[in-house]
Structure 1
Amino acid sequence: ADGLGRTYRQEPPNSDEFVVVGTLEPRKQPVQILEAFEALNAGGRVASLCFAGRMGWLSVEDKRRLLKAFDEHPWVRWVDGPDDETLRRLVQNCRATIYLSLAEGFGSPPVESLALGTPCVVSAVIPSVLDMPSNGQVRIAPDDGAALIEA
């Protein structure tokens, strides 16, 4: 995050890509996010999705499901373990970030996204955003797939 605002984006991006930051693991719900974007794209909306993080401890079926989607869908991609500069570029150039974790100790990615001027769709239970004004955020219940699609 750039707390001094030196890299804050000045204009909204022309991108239709949403970025999910973090390790691909069950509590961060990558399959549920993928399914929401499958529904969006099947319904005629254009929305791209990027997962930016390392492959975590998913079930064999969930890992297979994600890897298959990365191969089959042109609108979804995976950036495995991005360095800081790559991650900063991804966040600054996306439409919004998504952080749909079921539980977190703090949850830095939404705060980092907002510090870079990028809105986020975030679980309403993430401690890092609870004491902040909701500006730039769409807060949803982490288990509400319909709310994610609407957001």
Structure 2
Amino acid sequence: MSNQLIANGRYRIQTAFRRENVGEQAAEAPLSLLPEEGDNYTWEVAFNGTDSYTLRNVKTGSYLGDDDAPQTIPVPLLKGASRPFLWKIERGVEPETFTLSPKNSNGTMRLAFSIARIFPPPVAWMPASGDVFPDQLWRLVKV
């Protein structure tokens, strides 16, 4: 049975409250948050037909994810994946918001703002909070 919440297409992955977009300046660069638009901040979202999605950067071709990082512990800097990386997308607690979890984490990790204090601010996956923190809520804005 299909549980597709998001239609296939091009989107910006935007913070729920600050309106910054997840982007990649270049392949292998850390994924970051900036209030910019364009292909670096545009993601091709594709449902796999059963229960998860891939999100591929239109400009660099990298996937949202990380090739080498274990999916069950926090990762403070995501560098993008060279091969398809699966995500679970679920409805967030606020209207029109979502949470994104690496599929193999079984919901224990979520896409979040990184704890690394550098510029531009990076994204990470961090432990899923029971009460979803604002830094783990996202909007998928159709381009």
Judge same fold: TM > 0.5, yes or no: no
Larger strand fraction of residues: 2
Which protein is bigger by CA-based radius of gyration? 1
**Structure with greater helix percent:** 1
**TM-score, normalising length: structure 2:** 0.30
TM-score between the two structures when normalised by the length of structure 1: 0.29
